[in-house]
Amino acid sequence: MTLNPHGIGSNFYNQCVIIIIGGDHLSGFIKVMEITLLLEVWLNKDEFCEDDLCVFEQLLPYYIDLFMMIVNRKEGAGMKLIKVHLLQHFMTMIRLFGCPKSFDTSIPEKTTSQK
């Protein structure tokens, strides 16, 4: 399948995407992606003050609810995913260990991969 064979700004392609996915659902995915990218940039800061963490704590429940509502995965465990749950503990981990740049989960992640 070729994505957008008529060019990035193609009105035809955009209309097809809206018809297939649905305008409201598509805008929901776009909103989730925008917030996800903003959170990634924010989490890459070198340091956080308590005010930053308080703002994040207020935003996080909204983000998790929006993510779960829009993604709405039905297969397997559905939206009962440990990675979604662990987001609720982000502020505690930042307060305990500092900015996310200073800790790494790649070693534990490697132990769970199948060879």
pLDDT digits (tens, 9 = 90+) for 8-51: 556 665 665 566 556 677 788 888 889 889 888 888 888 888 89
Residue 106 lies in a domain: no
Contacts 24+ apart (CB under 8 A), 89-96: 90/56, 90/60, 91/53, 91/56, 91/57, 91/60, 94/48, 94/53, 95/53
Given a cut of 70, whether residue 101 has pLDDT beyond it is yes
| Range(s) of the domain holding residue 96 | 30-100
Q: What CA–CA distances, in Å, run from 28 to 36, 38, 67, 112?
A: 12, 15, 9, 32
Residue 1 lies in a domain: no
Report residue 1's pLDDT band, with 50, 70 and 90 as the boundaries: very low
- In this predicted structure, what is the pLDDT of residue 2? 46
Chain centroid to Cα 28, Å, comes to 12
R_g over Cα of the chain: 18
Residue 39 lies in a domain: yes
Name the residue among 41, 66, 56 with its Cα closest to residue 95: 56
Residue 71 lies in a domain: yes
Residue by residue, DSSP assigns 32-49 as HHHHHHHHHHHHT-S---
Whole-model pTM? 0.62
For the chain, the domain total comes to 1
Residue 47 lies in a domain: yes
CA distance 20 to 15: 9
Is the separation of the CB atoms in 6 and 12 below 8 Å?
A: yes
Residue 38 lies in a domain: yes
